[in-house]
A and B are shown apart, each in its own frame.
Chain A
Amino acid sequence: MQRYIIGRVVQSIVSMFVVSMIVFALVRLSGDPIQIMMPAEATKADIELMRAHLGLDRPWAVQYWRFLTQALQGDFGKSVRFRRPALDLVTERYGATLELGGLAVLIVIALALPIGVYSAVRRGSALDYAARIFAAFGQAVPPFWLGLVLVLIFGVLLHWLPTSGRGTPWHVLLPGITLGWFAVAGLMRLTRSSMLDVLGSEYVKLARIKGLPEHRVIWRHAFKNAALPVVTFAALLFVALLNGSIIVETVFGWPGLGLLVIEAVDSRDYPIVQTVVLFLSAMYIGVNLLVDILYAYLNPKIRYSQS
């Protein structure tokens, strides 16, 4: 168990190194950042001075080391566009992304779990059928397009909800639904199949024979055991939402990290792009690590098969 966890931690650190190297190499490959930073009327001497000042005349290995040590100290460079430290901008926008992701997780769990459980319990019913069609559609609808459809229906036609920006609690609804939609389908399918497995087991039969009320059988005896794969999925979901938020924030003009990075791509604001990529990758790798450790604790089978 300990060996497994240490192995996973080491692997996560290596992954983070790889990300930092990819980011570093790609950003340096993309051409001379000085060209973008300096005004057009800058003289050659000015440019050389700036280059030396930023350490861009040094060998790559030295530059990478500098980049790495500075990043570890929280210095990610200055945004070209906003002329402010990149890390400040990232931390400012971070809350918005978390708010959106949090709502999406709530929506997903509130919808997917009950529907998944009930379509397993009432297998073959109209609700089960509807839920399965919904799940099939859910996985085929591109999220960026769903966002536009929601804007069209609730914003343009019905005028019920705001379609862009962040402000009142109403603003988060449409982006939250869009972000959660895809995951609802996946989690619903998983809950359903996991419940179906458990409902056929001996101890559920025993619970029924004992004469327990049906809701107790379903939630106490069956669902608790069906929840293991569901728990890990719910955690992985968070990671998927992180990726999805880039798309959804772009559609709804939601001022989070995703929008920040896409805007930075447009204005070729490298420090921002590299900071957001590093930041989100670290979260992605970190959550993956936590989920694996949690899973190993919950499921002894993994614990032993991996060591």
Chain B
Amino acid sequence: MNGTTAAEAIPLPPRTRDRRFPPLIPLAIVAALVLCALLAPVLAPHSPLEGSLGERLAPPIGLEGSKPGHLLGTDRHGRDTLSRLLHGARISLAVSVIGITLTGAAGSFIGLLAGFLGGWVDTLLMRLADISLSLPGILIAVLLSVVFEPSFTNVIIVVVFLLWPSYARLTRGETLGLKQQEFVALARVAGCSSTLIMFRHILPNLAPSILVLATLHVGYVIVLEAALSFLGVGIPPPTPSWGVMVADGRGLIEQAWWVSILPGIAILITVLSLNILGDWVRDRLDPKLRQV
């Protein structure tokens, strides 16, 4: 890649220069979050699904009327907010990991095919991408939830539906360039089949860009899941998705603000950290994508 030589030739403003190290605070927050998600059953002080009605709507510790043992208070069923937040991190993590892996794989495969094969395959697949981009995502989610019950699978379908065209377009463009390179011609001379060239020789070269796009999408997917769940067309209650928690507290905003405000803060901090990290990964791996 000529990224390094270009960076040496042009003097960069100081802000860009110390980007060798990841931003530490966001990194720590994301790492802590992943740990919380993985260890939620161990860390959570209470069950995320069962509450005791005697301890309903207890405020967080430090406020008047708080109950010992419920650090961040309880909701209207007496369920512990902290425990639900920890388990909610699992949902966010699961949706983003599964959703982005599936989309990245499907979208990149389609883009690779379109770019490598060209011709009518290319035209057809890219038209499909255009059409997919021209459909409004939230409405598709609404439709899906009327037809099938709201579920984890629906959220994943919507994520795949909304994001696959970006991967397909990205990998198609890069494949078009890579296809012209000498190592592809040499591989062909050496007797490699098209399939082998695509997956052995071209795909590894696409990996950095795919990875960058995937990191940039994590925050988006977490907000999307929360929004769908909030609307009642995503993860169904009582599963402790952060979006479900915000929706639960909607009617209680006057008596018990913490029920909906705290999960929102969790989303905000998570997404902010992920976006900062995503920008860093992009600048490190692929400055060309800065406009994405």
Contact = CB atoms under 8 A, between A and B. Distances in A.
Contacts of A151: 253
B292 to A, nearest CB: 13
B230 A144 contact: yes
B272 A137 contact: yes
A263 B268 CA distance: 27
B143 A156 contact: no
Given A140-B219, A142-B223, A281 B253 contact: no
B106 interface: no
Interface string B152-182: 0000000000000000000000000000000
Contacts of A141: 264, 268
Contact of A281 (B135, B223, B249, B260): B135
Contact of B136 (A136, A146, A156, A284): A284
Given A137-B272, A156-B254, A280-B139, A30 B246 contact: no
A221 B100 CA distance: 43
Interface in A143-193: 143-146, 148-149, 151-152, 156
Contacts of A242: 136
Chain B, interface SS category: helix
Contact of B147 (A11, A29, A280): A29
A54 B194 CA distance: 53
Interface stretch (A56-64, A246-254, A297-305): A246-254
Contacts of B257: 152, 156
Nearest to B270: A140
Interface in B193-231: 219, 223, 226-227, 230-231
Contacts of B268: 137, 140-142, 145
B135 A144 contact: no
A1 interface: no
A156 B254 CA distance: 6
Given A140-B268, A152-B261, A30 B131 contact: no
B142 interface: yes
Nearest to A268: B146
A22 interface: yes
A22 B134 CA distance: 14
Given A19-B135, A141-B268, A284-B134, A247 B143 contact: no
Interface in B29-62: none
Interface residues of B, number: 43
B250 A251 contact: yes
B136 A266 contact: no
A140 B124 CA distance: 35
A139 B254 CA distance: 27
B41 to A, nearest CB: 26
B143 A26 contact: yes
Contacts of B142: 246, 261-262, 265, 273, 277
Nearest to A12: B134
Interface in A253-307: 261-262, 264-266, 268, 270, 273-274, 276-277, 280-281, 284-285, 288
Given A11-B134, A268-B146, 17 more contacts: A11-B130, A12-B134, A15-B135, A18-B131, A22-B140, A144-B227, A145-B260, A148-B249, A149-B264, A152-B253, A156-B257, A239-B136, A247-B227, A265-B232, A270-B146, A274-B143, A284-B136
